[in-house]
Structure 1
Amino acid sequence: MDPLMLAVEWWWIAPAAAGAGAVTALGVRRSRKSSGRRLALDAARNDLSDAQHEAGQRKRAVKLARAEHARLVAERSASRATSSDVASARRALQQAEREAKAASADVRARRVRVNVARAEIPPASRQERFPLARLNRAHDAITARWMQYETDPARLIAYPVMSNGKDPAMAAFLAAARRARDLRPASESRITTAEFAAYRDAVADLERTFDVAEHTAKERAAGRDPDAGPAWQDSAHALFNRSAEAIDKAAGAAASAFAAWSARRNPPPRDETPEQ
């Protein structure tokens, strides 16, 4: 075929390809801006979905624990299970119920976070208010608070824990600082929802561990032990355990007495067959 005729016939391919490339590039830029604005909302939605799945599993675990407890109660009445077995099943049921309540509370909290993240979606023109930019500023703020203890001689003398990497509270903070540093995305780089969620959680853990380390340092500077909890909590916990065991033993004794009373009241029929 004549090259000139071929060029005339396929003249539209190059403009079409260029136009398609321009549209694709525009779509990528728009997608990047949209994902940057909505990172917190997308991550919050993923967290809510995970929390709902966890809550469903906890509810099913409660049903299983309740059925197992009922089975053992019936088995104990038939002298095929002990009071200790029933007590263990009751504790498992109580633990499953507590975990189910915690999971339901987590779902409610995650819903609130979704609503907050939706309300905080910034305008496209305010990139400094994008979720990742806010997270970077929170990270930098914690680092600045920590550096005040590292660079101020008076604070170093007053709060030596803040420069002691062997202290458990400070060691936890330093580990959180390394994790947040490693998960922090490079500037101008694309970031997925999962990466943002991991960095968000790392910064939250950094804030928590710094607060614990700072509280520990101030308590020890004041001559108090931050790890000493109220003694009444341990006593109450021990009393609760002893009471639960006593109730189980009493219930077992009552079941045994009832079975013996029933046996006496309804004796088995005698064999009245005459002797040969």
Structure 2
Amino acid sequence: MELIDGTPPSTVQKRGPLPMPDLLYIAWCIADALTAAHREGLTAGLNRVPRRTPATRAVSSLCCTTCPSFVHTVHHLRSLYPMSATCPTCEAADETVAVHKALQDSDRPLDPPTRELLSMPPEPGGTSGAAITLFILAGLFGLPGLHTLLSGDDGGNSDAAYQVGHRYGTFLVAAILLGIGLAIHSNHRSRRNDTADQWPRTYEQWQQVHRVWRATWLCRRCRVAFLPAASLRPDFAASPTVPVAQFPQWTVVIARQDDRSGGSGLAAAG
């Protein structure tokens, strides 16, 4: 799977349950593929394969017994959850698109300011990039010093000061880098703690923001974002529209309400 383009399965699992539109899109693709296979007689042709193995018989039986009911169920869901969303402002669907798909659309790319507003915020990190870099450098300096110390290389016939520097100099540099990295890390954590209203602050909170972001649609005509009906849950009501300029704050507000109310806040916000 690592050789195939796309999001790795481990990343998808880490993000949590798929939004309803994404889940239905995958199901529709599978149903269309199974319908085409039945239409061309590919599944029935498994019965005519010479020297059929138990696995082949199992696949043939599964396709013939369960595929029709699966396809029927998916097509029923397709009638309930269409692949388009109607904008509440202009009451049209010809210019609406899921936000994450609009960001990937190379035929109609978004302008840079809009792209920046609609982009998903990065995951909250516990350690700054500068601190991580210094920690890595400290380790790189410490390893040669440890090798020198264990090998017993004392610098030959040099004077005592050189021998001390030769044996322990790299440890001193590593300690300085480590100390600076710890200071930067401590300052980074204190700034985050001082900002009481900063949200999301944990990965779990970020997952809730990501869930709202994945389910949101964009109307290119009206330049507004909205959550369609059943976008987060089957009983979820369509939300009012929000201007693109307010989109980052809006997604956080809805996800934060859900965090406080255990899910009912999303219905209230919608």
TM interval, short-chain normalised: under 0.3
Question: Which has a greater percent of helix?
Answer: 1
Rg larger in structure? 1
Q: What is the TM-score of this pair, normalised by structure 2?
A: 0.27
Q: What is the TM-score of this pair, normalised by structure 1?
A: 0.26
